[in-house]
Amino acid sequence: MQRTVLLTGASRGIGRSIARQLLIDGHRLSLGLRDPEALRGTDLDVEDVAHYPYDAREPASAEAWVEGTLRQWGGIDTLIHCAGLLHRTPLLFADGEEHELDDLWTINVKGPWWLTRAAWPSLVSSGHGRIQVLVSMSGKRVKGRMAGYPVSKFALMGLCQSMRNEGWDQGIRVTAICPSWVNTDMARAVTAVEPAAMTQPSDLASLSCSLLSLPNASVPFELAMNCSLET
Ligand SMILES: NC(=O)c1ccc[n+]([C@@H]2O[C@H](COP(=O)([O-])OP(=O)(O)OC[C@H]3O[C@@H](n4cnc5c(N)ncnc54)[C@H](OP(=O)(O)O)[C@@H]3O)[C@@H](O)[C@H]2O)c1
């Protein structure tokens, strides 16, 4: 079944890989980008892919993006949240660093919340809505001294559970995707793990796309994966 997918974070990293695989699988995409020109002339600049301005900090951009997509294609049945931010903010953050906590809350939690709220009526009316959220293993356990990022991801996991409860009877199924290190700009900036040893974005893209072919009774709520053993 061809789906109409709203996807954040497609400019790079995991979102970009998922967008490519969705297109190969024959879906129709609406990408929300801070710079809607960023993908001009790339493999994501083709007929079945629309590019809209979207900034997770601006709820009005989420609403305008949803409205534009509905005008263009008449419906939305799938929402994939890949946009996200990592700050290393520790528990004992320095004076003046608290703005990082606001950034993490705004982009990692409120952004997906607003966008889900805007797309909700369309997901419901499709009768087979799907929401995938790039959470993280950091939404399940806290490792080391990073505090702000995992706290935002635990909150995002709570948001996933709320979406699931709210949407279940209307045919909406939610999956929280929880990898550890994935070979993208985000991970390469903060860990010494070899890129080749990390989970690859293309593997997440395969998983994400195969989830979309599952019927309502078989969609997993959570997909957790590690690229190395945690004891
Ligand atoms: N990489 C990992 O190891 C890893 C592991 C677990 C979970 N995750 C999660 O997976 C998701 C994708 O991560 P990634 O590794 O692909 O990250 P990435 O390569 O750093 O890409 C981040 C994406 O988020 C977008 N973004 C950032 N701030 C935004 C904003 N205010 N409004 C709209 N878009 C914004 C970026 O757009 P611009 O190009 O405009 O900046 C970019 O497309 C994130 O939620 C991340 O927390 C990543």
Identity of the residue numbered 98:
E
* DSSP run (H or E) holding 80: strand 78-81
Token readout for 113 is 């919340």
Residue nearest (by alpha carbon) to ligand 1 atom 43: 9
In a domain, 103, yes or no: yes
Tens-place pLDDT, residues 55-106: 999 999 999 999 999 999 999 999 999 999 999 999 999 999 999 999 999 9
Instruction: For residue 40, give its domain range.
Output: 4-225
In a domain, 162, yes or no: yes
In a domain, 218, yes or no: yes
The CATH number linked to 94 is 3.40.50.720
| Ligand 1: centre distance to CA 138 (Å) | 14
Tens-place pLDDT, residues 93-112: 999 999 999 999 999 999 99
In a domain, 230, yes or no: no
d(CA 187, CA 193) in angstroms, rounded, equals 9
In a domain, 231, yes or no: no
In a domain, 148, yes or no: yes
| Contact predicate 189/196, CB 8 Å | no
Q: State if residue 139 touches ligand 1 by the CB under 6 angstroms criterion.
A: no
pLDDT for 214 beyond 90: yes
What is the number of alpha carbons within 13 Å of residue 176 lying toward its C-beta? Answer: 23
What is the number of alpha carbons within 13 Å of residue 224 lying toward its C-beta? Answer: 10
| Ligand 1: centre distance to CA 108 (Å) | 9
pLDDT at 123: 98
Nearest ligand 1 atom, CA 181: 3
Q: How many domains does the chain have?
A: 1
Residue % of the chain over a pLDDT of 90: 99
Tens-place pLDDT, residues 16-37: 999 999 999 999 999 999 999 9
Tens-place pLDDT, residues 33-54: 999 999 999 999 999 999 999 9
